[in-house]
Amino acid sequence: MSNTENNIFERLKKGETISSNDNEAYKMREASFATKKLLVEMNNATNPAEIRNLLSKITDTDIDESVTVFTPLYINYGKHTKIGKNVFINFDCVFLDLGGITIEDNVLIAPKVSLLSESHPIEPTERYSLNVAPILIKKNAWIGANATILQGVTIGENAVVAAGSVVSKDVPDNTIVGGIPAKIIKEI
């Protein structure tokens, strides 16, 4: 196996469950603390260009100048987050991205939204292991305030997630979902 295939972050991208006994598990914490250092700087910045620049460093991508982020924003890793153009991220959002988060163009994310691509096994003896699955938010979706999107979920194009919802299953294009767990309310 090549060094890249052994890398814990590449294994996470492939959806591998990481045991708490994994000999590279410590690298996830190290990376999170490195990200936190940049987050402190970003969350104290007031200039939109500086915020985008720091977010570019956190995500290791180019954040387009059409993206607006109202800080604070909390990300535990960053390098598995991809953000499209003309995206608006409001205050106090949380992105746990070890499983991958993709936000396509023209997405609106309201305050206090949590995108959680990570979870843990139900079995108590395995609970400290990490399960991951990517989150995809398609073009022109709107995620309402205080909504939570769980691992492995795709939010469809033009879809709306009502405020306070917990989304555990894929949301079809052109629908409005709401509730806990979120269910289709109506089609757009």
- Positions marked catalytic: 120
Q: Count Cβ atoms below 10 Å from residue 161 Cβ, excluding itself.
A: 28
Q: What 3-state class would DSSP assign to 52?
A: helix
- What does the DSSP assignment read for 76-143? SS-TTEEE-SS-EE-SSEEEE-TT-EEE-TT-EE-TT-EEE-EE--SSGGGTTSBEE--EEE-TT-EE
CB 158 within 8 A of CB 174: yes
